Amino acid sequence: MARFVLVHGAWHGAWCWYKLIPLLRQQGHEVIAPDLPGHGIDRTPVNKVSLQSYTDRICTILDEGEKPAILLGHSMGGIVITQAAEYRPHRIHKLVYLAAFLIPSGRSLFDEAHTHEDSLVPPNMVFDENDPSYVGFRREAAHETFYADCSDEDLTLALSLLTPQPQSPLMTAMQTTTGNYGDVPRVYIQALQDRALTHAVQERMISELPCEQVLTLDSSHSPFFSQPQSLAQHLLSLA
């Protein structure tokens, strides 16, 4: 049986996987879905949140397992799994990017995001001049940006649980090498109707950092809500 580690995206927490986790566990697989520092119910102070703290949490989970994990990152979670693979290449069976940032060494998420002309994310980010440590998101834009094909119930759930996103991890450049990160097999799961990371953006990132396999879902940015069964089938095929 496989060991899945699921890494959520910006503003989100482990709660976003509530439909997917039981589908994988029902097939006998181990599933771990942590809150990253400062997300969900984790109360790490913002001045302690960094890409390194994100990565340290995932590396600790990887180290505790008896077998290498299938490490999945959604959206912003892509930078976390990329950096974790640099530190723990032998503890990862596959990296799975779910509508996620796939960024080469030397570039940050902010560097990449500012090139996404059609994305609905940058124009709807909210910056507080009095507290530059966080970035928020306009609630009225969340439906179209993240959850366009999701149920009203899941939209309500998400809006009640989204939290401000610490800026530091988004501004930190990836530091990877071909000998570590480059040795870990990569799979990309595209969300074809995504308005946060558009299909064109996903294609461009994959062309820059090719993956051994590219799978697709005809979904918005959040298939863990709208198409959990189809997402689970893709993941089970990798196990």
The model's confidence at residue 153, banded by pLDDT at 50, 70 and 90, is: very high
- pLDDT of residue 22 exceeding 90, the answer is yes
**pLDDT tens for residues 126-141?**
998 888 899 999 999 9
Return the percentage of the chain with pLDDT > 90, whole number. Answer: 94
Instruction: Count up the domains in the chain and report the number.
Output: 1
Contacts of 55 (CB under 8 A, 6+ apart): 80, 83, 84, 87
**Residues 129, 180 contacting (CB under 8 angstroms):** no
Residue 115 pLDDT greater than 90, yes or no = no
- d(CA 235, CA 98) in angstroms, rounded, equals 10
Give me the pLDDT at residue 116, please. 86
Contact in structure between 137 and 158 (CB atoms under 8 Å): no
Residues 176-179: contacts with CB within 8 Å, 24+ apart?
Answer: 176/82, 176/83, 176/85, 176/86, 176/104, 176/105, 177/86, 177/105
Tens of pLDDT, residues 52-110: 999 999 999 999 988 999 999 999 999 999 999 999 999 999 999 999 999 999 999 99
Does 172 have pLDDT greater than 90?
yes
In this predicted structure, the answer to whether residue 224 has a pLDDT above a threshold of 90 is yes
Domain residue limits at 47 = 3-238
- Residues catalogued as catalytic: 75, 194, 221
Residue 114, pLDDT above cutoff 90: no
Mean of all residue pLDDT scores within the chain:
97
The per-residue pLDDT for 89 is 98
Q: How do 134-137 and 165-166 pair as beta strands?
A: antiparallel
Q: Any idea what the CATH number is for the domain that residue 213 is in?
A: 3.40.50.1820
Which token pair is 96? 């799975």
Q: What is the pLDDT of residue 197?
A: 97
